[in-house]
A = this chain, B = another copy of it.
Amino acid sequence: MSSAIEHFHPFIPAGGVGSRLWPLSRADAPKFLLDLTGSGSSLLRSTYDRLVDLGEDGVMVITGRSHAPAVRQQLPECAEVDLVLEPSPKDSGAAIGLASAILARRDPEAIVGSFAADHVIEPTEVFHRAVREAVEAAATGRIVTIGVTPTSPSTGFGYIRAAESLGVETAPSALKVAEFVEKPDADTAREYVRSGEYAWNAGMFVAPARLLLQHLEASQPELHAGIVEIADAWETDARDEVMDRVWPTLPKIAIDYAVAEPAAAAGDVAMVPASFTWDDVGDFAAISRLNRAVDVDEVAVLGKNKRVMTDNASGIVVSDTSRIVALIGIEDIVVVDTPDALLVTTQEHAQRVKNAVDALKKNGETDVL
């Protein structure tokens, strides 16, 4: 192994409400702040714990300013300089760019890693091994995505087609990337999985901060100038003043367009395949899968409610109330019982919860969003 890992700085962009998990997830209680696995830890806390041993000096978190109290409470060891609070949402380009710029200023040789706040990954050892290889591969001047070996022909994810070995001695699994492809239809997804050439694009990547910022500067010079100005002030008294002044002027753009696509076009992208189990907890069907251990009858119960009773029922109940919840003669049901909103759907239709949230927004019923 090289000394690259000593320059590794992971960070967590923690954004997005997770509308498909409404009414559990809300604008002020987004998915990443919730314990959705019954583990006793939020998804953010679990993600932080999974990363903290890899970094030399902590893990940076980028999130909305309104979530600061909850994040500080969940991550008391996170230093204030490692907590990037966005005054307003600006998409992933600004968040990931700013984190990279701050870390590059601290360590010019920084290799950064971006990991979503709301994914579930097991086992940690397999994940660590993949990240370490990705760091080694990144040290050769590549943006390295971690590709998850597919366990089913999912139509919900993008895929990465791998090419030949990258030929890096300290990262023997690392492969060149032939192409990134969008979410496929079911037949295409089956073909991808059968071929063995494709991995799920889980949105995790490792890259030299300098390389990432070079691509950002080339494709989005205005965004690059703004984040560099904020990063220059970050560890000074001027931090808040500069953040408040510059952040609102930054263009809104996803990191895929700002960095990943130009980097791929330049042949700067590689992939480390990994076979840990990965779940992006996309809907209540996922929550049901992840909570099989605490069944009452065939029903997974998530939350503090100890008064769930079932009679020939299966599915999931999420409830922190003390109400009796009685389920009789229903299969694959999803019941989410909160003080001001009740959702009843099925695991099959769990993806459509987002439509309901959109409808509520349209109707102005924002008190429950």
Residues of A within 8 A of B (CB): 23, 307, 309, 311-312, 322-330, 333, 335, 337, 339-346, 348-349, 352-353, 355-356, 359-360, 365, 368
Contacts and interface: CB of A to CB of B under 8 A. Distances in A.
Contacts of A342: 323-326, 335, 337, 342
B337 A353 contact: no
27 contacts: A23-B324, A309-B356, A309-B360, A311-B359, A312-B352, A322-B340, A323-B341, A324-B340, A324-B341, A324-B342, A324-B365, A324-B368, A326-B353, A326-B360, A327-B344, A327-B345, A328-B344, A328-B345, A328-B346, A329-B352, A330-B333, A330-B344, A330-B346, A330-B349, A333-B344, A335-B342, A335-B344
A326 B143 CA distance: 43
Contacts of A312: 349, 352
Contacts of A322: 340
Contacts of A330: 333, 344-346, 349
Nearest to A365: B324
Nearest to A327: B344
A356 B328 contact: yes
- Binding site of A, secondary structure by majority: helix, strand, loop or mixed? mixed
A85 to B, nearest CB: 30
A309 B346 contact: no
Contacts of A344: 325-328, 330, 333, 335, 344
A346 B329 contact: yes
A95 to B, nearest CB: 31
Max chain B Cβ within 10 angstroms of own Cβ: one of A323, A335, A353 = A323
Given A323-B342, A335-B344, A342-B337, A328 B352 contact: yes
Nearest to A310: B356
A346 B344 CA distance: 12
Contacts of A325: 341-342, 344
